Chain A
Amino acid sequence: MTQSAKTVLLDVKEASRSFGGLKALSEVSLHIDTGELIGLIGPNGAGKTTLFNLLTGVYPPSTGSIILNNESIGGMKPYKINHKGAARTFQNIRLFTSMTVLENVKIAFHQHARHSLFTSMLRLPKHFKGEDEITQKAMDILKIFDLDEQSEEVASNLSYGNQRRLEIARALAAGPKLLLLDEPAAGMNPNETRDLMNLIAWIRKEFDLTILLIEHDMSLVMGVCDRIYVLDRGMLIANGTPTEIRSNPKVIEAYLGQEA
């Protein structure tokens, strides 16, 4: 790997996580350079979401370190990690269901709000300025995802595909450097999936993003990802370009073993 000219954005060193006696992740090391689009694949129960949960602070790693942008974030609270520049989506969609589409995105801008609690409670001019700014920025994001016309719709009324897209929009609104997408195409048909992948590739360029993408289906990520990490039973078993991964015997075994 030639990383001499590149900067490492995310560096995970021997991160492990156990639940009781069960080792969900053992000594996983990986790194992502700024601007990369990385795939994380593996059979069911391989520990992909657990790794996401470590990266976003849902729980701390049992051992090992996680460095984001030269700063250790292992064990930091999720909201702090978000402030440090990592935002995520969830495998099982977690929208604020009774809030509108617009409000969902506005939440992600909260951390950048410049009007204080006090100004809001007294409705000082700064409150209105701050709120307008947030609304404007949120609408801009919604436009990109073609959700602007449904901005006043309650989130739970959106179609399934649009809910998934709204989740990505919301994560993007937080202004991350690293975007973590947990099976963004789950439940979509091949056409929708391809469209979504194109959208992801597009926002990556437009927003200078680094993306880590979990996908269950190997063939899906082959087209878009620069590199792919493969997890199996909590361990990293392979790492390389899509072509390398495709012919890696360990990967084939993990997947075939799964199907057998």
Chain B
Amino acid sequence: MEYFIQQLINGISVGSIYALIALGYTMVYGIIKLINFAHGDVFMVGSFIGLYSARYLANAGFPPVVVLILSLVISMTISALLGITVERLAYKPLRKSTRIAALITAIGVSFLLEYTGVLILGPQAQGFPDIMDKKQYTLFGSSIQVESNQVMILLTTIILMIILQYIVRYTKTGKAMRAVSFDVEAARLMGINVDRTISATFAIGSALAAAAGVIFGMTYNSVDPLMGVMPGLKAFVAAVLGGIGSIPGALVGGLLLGTVETEISSLGFSSWRDGVAFAVLILILIFKPSGLFGKNVREKV
């Protein structure tokens, strides 16, 4: 039992990373019905920006907490700009095309980011600086251990979630986002600037992915230009699992997938871990394509 709980705790940190990335997928899909394949690569870019900022700031002698917060902010800001740029250059011209054309483009953008990364940064992995000392805490006198990093991940995720909920529920941009995802044309007629709302969605989604990237770097200490592929796909699975288009769904889907994967690995099937994620994806797509929290959409005849 304790072992199980231990794995659950480990799963939550992986799951938080999936959840943060999944949010971007789900928000973008909700608003323009595009699987933004490049999203996992924004996560990668965010991680690298975090890495360089953290290195620089740590060398400049800032205290660890400041380094963490500043790296997050810098990485999230630049990645948000990247997200907007990608949307403007690659997706906006295809707004009226078929979804397949947009999907092919998204795959193209994804590979472009990855291999531009390989070209500039080299294919080899780089170590992420240790921003904070890692500590182990033992829970309730049992053998269950929690790392300081895991606490940090959970805290960051929760804070970002609260901010996101606030933006989506109470700000003008958030209301516009909900309106556009509900009905683009109606939103336009009501005077909502659709283009700006879509950009905002990409910006927020990319910023969240970047935060996930920084957290990922701190947890696994290793980043490389192709690191976004698997977490990106997994996060997409998480988004589908939770119900694509649903923000709470992305969170639950991410955490669920993270824990399932960790449990599978801990049972000694780590080489099957990725397969399980895809099997989950296919089962969900076949039996409940709307996911846990999604709603059914049917083509009008």
Contacts and interface: CB of A to CB of B under 8 A. Distances in A.
Interface in A34-81: 49, 53, 58
A49 B301 CA distance: 8
B296 to A, nearest CB: 9
Nearest to A50: B301
Interface in B260-301: 301
Contacts of A58: 301
A90 interface: yes
Interface string B34-71: 00000000000000000000000000000000000000
A53 B301 CA distance: 8
Nearest to A19: B298
4 contacts: A49-B301, A53-B301, A58-B301, A90-B301
A58 B298 CA distance: 11
Contacts of B301: 49, 53, 58, 90
Q: Which 4 A-B pairs have the closest CB atoms?
A: A58-B301, A53-B301, A90-B301, A49-B301
A230 B257 CA distance: 53
Nearest to A56: B301
Contacts of A53: 301
Main DSSP-derived SS at the B contact region? loop
B96 to A, nearest CB: 15
A49 B300 CA distance: 10
A102 to B, nearest CB: 25
Interface residues of A, number: 4
Interface in A1-54: 49, 53
A226 B301 CA distance: 27
Contacts of A49: 301
Contacts of A90: 301
Nearest to B296: A20
Interface in B131-151: none
Interface string A74-101: 0000000000000000100000000000
A17 to B, nearest CB: 12
Nearest to B300: A92
A58 B301 CA distance: 8
A57 B301 CA distance: 11
B298 to A, nearest CB: 8
B287 to A, nearest CB: 19
A90 B301 CA distance: 8
A120 to B, nearest CB: 27
A237 to B, nearest CB: 24
A33 B301 CA distance: 27
A30 B301 CA distance: 22
Interface string A182-223: 000000000000000000000000000000000000000000
Nearest to B295: A20
Interface string A89-126: 01000000000000000000000000000000000000
A90 B300 CA distance: 11
A53 B299 CA distance: 12
A193 B301 CA distance: 23
B69 to A, nearest CB: 45
A103 to B, nearest CB: 20
A153 B225 CA distance: 50
Nearest to B299: A58
Nearest to A52: B301
A232 to B, nearest CB: 21
A47 to B, nearest CB: 13
Interface string B200-232: 000000000000000000000000000000000
Nearest to A182: B301
B244 to A, nearest CB: 19
A230 B301 CA distance: 21
